[in-house]
Amino acid sequence: MSSPERIAMISLHTSPLAEPGRADAGGMNVVLKHTAQSLGELGVAVDMFTRRSDAHSPEVEQVSANVRLIRLPGGPAAPLPKSEMEQAIEPFGRALQEFYDGPGADALPSLIHSHHWFSGVAALPVAKRLGVPHVQSFHSVAAPAEETSLSGGEPAESPGRIAGERLSARESDLVVAVSEAERRTIHERYGVCPSRIRVVRPGVDVELFRPLAKGEARPAQPYLMFAARLQPLKGPDLALEVLARVRESFPKMRLVLAGEASDDFAEFPAQLRERAAELGLTDAVSWQNACSREQLAELMRGAAMFLAPSWSETFGLVALESQASGVPVAGWRCAGGLAEAIDSSGALLTTRDPDVWAHEICTLLGDPERYAQACVAAREAACRHTWEQSAARLSDVYASLAKTALPGDPWAYLTSRRSVMVVHAHPDDEALATAPLIAYLVSLGIEVSLVTATRGERGEVVPGAIAPGDERPLEQVRADELAASVKALGISQQYMLGGDDMIFRDSGMRWISDGVAGPALDVTEDALTARERCLAEAALADLIDRVSPGAVLSYDMAGTYGHPDHVRMHEVSRAACAQTGVACFEFASEENYVADADAPRVLPALPAGAQRSFAWRELPETAPQMLQALDAYRTQLTVLESFTASGLPVVRVRHVGGQVQDVVGRAGIRGQ
């Protein structure tokens, strides 16, 4: 697959152009800007979206060739602390959708890549509506709610963070982590299968961040350096303690402390200054506030060593920049991905004891030959991680998700197969979502096998649908209805995912926010969305190996109306097909719901983007099979009427919950 022509990068809470070290700007801003520019140099068009935080910046700003920044409304046009940013998610997501419905309609993305959970929760519904993959990056993962130590990660700054991270991690097509440590954290805390997490490490600008040139003298007074936002997580207090001990051996040593506090930690700098005074360091600390990238690079190459005492880092970009400047780094080994950024020439400490830190630093600085070797090794290590290399890796990841059709017409490919496997989540889905398509394939002599993931255990029952005295358990009722639908559609064989060895139960559904569905609050541990996804993937891959279909057909990313079990089976089908090498096809979701049974008899509009990405076919000859399959589900559906509109058969049904849906004799498919 080729790389996508256009991508959307979402950074809701902070602009990619903001200076790191100020407010909530940090390494993520650097990663976004440099990655976008490097992708632009590869010929990819990149639209970066951020929340408008002032009334004066232009709506659209050209950043570099192929890269532009688009500011969208999302709450007040003023700075917001991260603790108050949740209020911006819904209006920002709405503005993003309105952009693609309006001025951006001629620049639709091939995929959406959200950065931080705010962005993911806002952009997921937009990606689903556009029918494009959604990629999620976090850059920092919240500490568990019960965690009391900063070593567990950044404490959640607002109530919805952990739930928002879980949602965006599980519902995205892919998660891109910046380190193996972050990959493990996402897997362990949110149950995302490792196969759905790719690691793309950040790069460094090795021309901007360079060692002192020949003839450039080191500053007269040596200094250690710290650069990060001033908040407890970053550990500037430990940097002060280390400096106090180092000065016992190097009395002229100073500390350059570059960074500002975000609004949520506005009082922390004063506490640091007070501690510096207590340690007798008032005149030994240079408070630089936030620096431009050029100023930061200049300060770094003049430093004796760089201190990275953060409690938790997903990677540690600033440590890589220090090494590119030829400056060794002393950091805490237990800080997540920091160990992956620091070369062995530096000092990785397993304790936060400032005496131990000072000893390691003084030992290195006191050995000129070893120190010179460490400076060279640091530079060489950093030069192996350029932004061009990082962007090329990310482009490959994007390409693996690009929704390009299989060679030729997808209908011609699918209908030339001897057999096709159709994968669904619940009994009745095959009747509601693919009855015309299945009936059409069967009419061509194609053997169609059906895989159903759950038994519909949580479904309500239409009053009176089960006769008095019928003591069958609901699961058996559903199984009997499924068997009748299978017979009506002419399906050759029906399988339950996992068989009797592993049962996947119905997850139920609730609406989390506008357009985003999630499992029911009382979801069971053996539910489809509660189990690790790789279990369902392995079960389906095993079934594909046994049945050997010519192609597999399942939901698109939207999962019809977004039921979490539907979305999960979309993900499972893609992964299982990738493992087995079988062609994977998606059927298009349609917006078929009408207000009530008295609604006008007109065909529903196709969803946004559907005509762009799916090949559609009208299937009027399948009307009898559609009606019989739907009528089989008496406990879940009530057939209200069947009629013809615009030459196509329509069966109008009422769900047990009261929703009225028109099932239309047409289908859209695309290959992956």
Task: Kindly state the average pLDDT of the residues 225-232.
Answer: 91
| Digit-coded pLDDT (tens) for 517-550 | 778 888 889 999 999 888 999 999 999 988 889 8
* Residue keyed to tokens 């632009």: 40
Q: Are residues 305 and 430 in the same domain?
A: no
Q: For residue 445, what pLDDT band results from cuts at 50, 70 and 90?
A: very high
Which backbone phi and psi does 390 adopt, to 5 degrees? -65, -45
Provide the total of helices (H) and of strands (E) in the chain, helices listed first: 22, 27
Q: Are residues 423 and 366 in the same domain?
A: no
pLDDT at 168 over 80: yes
Q: Are residues 318 and 425 in the same domain?
A: no
Q: Are residues 195 and 228 in the same domain?
A: no
pLDDT at 589 over 80: yes
185 close to 336: Cβ distance less than 8 angstroms: yes
User: Is 391 a domain residue?
Assistant: no
User: Is 538 a domain residue?
Assistant: yes
pLDDT at 595: 55
pLDDT at 672 over 70: no
Q: Are residues 414 and 349 in the same domain?
A: no
User: Is 1 a domain residue?
Assistant: no
Distance spanning both ends of the chain, measured CA to CA:
10
pLDDT at 606: 52
Which of 369, 384, 399 lies at the terminal end of a domain, its last residue?
384
pLDDT at 582: 86
Coil, helix or strand at residue 349 = strand
Considering only 14-28, 57-71, 87-101, 567-581, which range has the smallest mean pLDDT?
Answer: 14-28
Q: Are residues 98 and 238 in the same domain?
A: no
Q: For residue 149, what pLDDT band results from cuts at 50, 70 and 90?
A: confident
pLDDT at 2: 43
With the CA atoms of 411, 415, 416 and 422 taken in that order, what torsion angle do they form, in degrees rounded to the nearest 10? 110
Helix, strand, coil in percent for the chain, rounding step 5: 40, 20, 40
Q: For residue 404, what pLDDT band results from cuts at 50, 70 and 90?
A: very low
> How much is the pTM?
0.63
CATH number of the structural domain spanning residue 511: 3.40.50.10320
Q: For residue 195, what pLDDT band results from cuts at 50, 70 and 90?
A: confident
Q: Six-digit token pair at 257?
A: 């402390």
Distance (Å, whole) CA 82 – CA 140: 13
Task: Kindly state the average pLDDT of the residues 57-65.
Answer: 93
Q: Are residues 127 and 269 in the same domain?
A: no
User: Is 394 a domain residue?
Assistant: no
Residue 562's identity, in one-letter code, is G
Q: Are residues 188 and 287 in the same domain?
A: no
Distance (Å, whole) CA 269 – CA 261: 7
User: Is 161 a domain residue?
Assistant: yes
Structural domain count, the chain: 3
pLDDT at 624 over 90: yes
| Digit-coded pLDDT (tens) for 320-335 | 999 999 999 999 887 6
Q: For residue 590, what pLDDT band results from cuts at 50, 70 and 90?
A: confident
Query: Which residues are within 8 A (CB) of 6 and not within 5 positions of it... i.e. 6 or more apart?
Result: 44, 45, 46, 47, 107, 108, 109, 110
- Structural domain harbouring 102: 6-199
pLDDT at 218: 84
| Digit-coded pLDDT (tens) for 549-566 | 989 999 988 788 788 899
504 close to 460: Cβ distance less than 8 angstroms: no
Q: Are residues 187 and 280 in the same domain?
A: no
CATH number of the structural domain spanning residue 180: 3.40.50.2000
User: Is 96 a domain residue?
Assistant: yes
pLDDT at 611: 46
User: Is 392 a domain residue?
Assistant: no
Q: Are residues 420 and 297 in the same domain?
A: no
Which of 165, 199, 233 lies at the terminal end of a domain, its last residue?
199
pLDDT at 646: 87
pLDDT at 406: 45
Distance (Å) of CA 8 to CA 254, 295, 402: 44, 30, 13
- Best-predicted range by mean pLDDT among 147-151, 271-275, 338-342? 271-275
| Percent of the residues in the chain that have a pLDDT greater than 70, as a whole number | 93
Query: Which residues are within 8 A (CB) of 443 and not within 5 positions of it... i.e. 6 or more apart?
Result: 490, 621, 622
User: Is 215 a domain residue?
Assistant: no
pLDDT at 292: 85
Q: Are residues 600 and 495 in the same domain?
A: yes
Q: Are residues 414 and 366 in the same domain?
A: no
| Digit-coded pLDDT (tens) for 341-361 | 887 777 888 899 999 999 999
pLDDT at 20: 66
